[in-house]
């Protein structure tokens, strides 16, 4: 691990409580990964926007070069969480 970088998996394990079943745990992990993915995409968009404000189109496009891939990954994570929920809907909403 690079110095100064956080241990995402370790931090997530501490934040995410153990769920009552495997499906809830899988949904929680997919949603946590989705949140991280979208935050990274938003950071790329902000960086690109700043570059455009400075009339640096090439730098802006370089900042978002993997944006499309992140969006595909976000869609897959969302679809997985939704499919798990639809396969096994929660019976106790307050859990």
What are the boundaries of each domain within the chain?
22-87
- CA neighbor of 29 nearest in space, from 58, 52, 50, 8: 8
Query: Residue 94: its pLDDT value, please?
Result: 43
Tens digits of per-residue pLDDT, 30-87? 999 999 999 999 999 999 999 999 999 999 999 889 888 999 999 999 999 999 999 9
Cα 24 → chain centroid: 17
Query: Residue 38: its pLDDT value, please?
Result: 96
| pLDDT confidence tier of residue 2, bands split at 50, 70 and 90 | very low
- Alpha-helix runs per DSSP H in the chain: 8-15, 22-53, 57-63, 67-87
For residue 88, pLDDT beyond 90: no
């Amino acid at each position: 691990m690079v110095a100064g970088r956080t241990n995402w998996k370790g931090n997530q394990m501490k934040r995410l409580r153990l769920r009552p079943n495997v499906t809830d745990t899988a949904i929680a992990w997919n949603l946590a990964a989705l949140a991280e993915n979208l935050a990274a995409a938003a950071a790329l968009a902000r960086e690109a926007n700043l570059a455009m404000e400075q009339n640096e189109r090439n730098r802006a496009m370089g900042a978002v070069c993997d944006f499309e891939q992140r969006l595909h990954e976000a869609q897959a994570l969302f679809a997985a969480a939704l499919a798990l929920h639809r396969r096994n809907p929660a019976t106790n909403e307050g859990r």
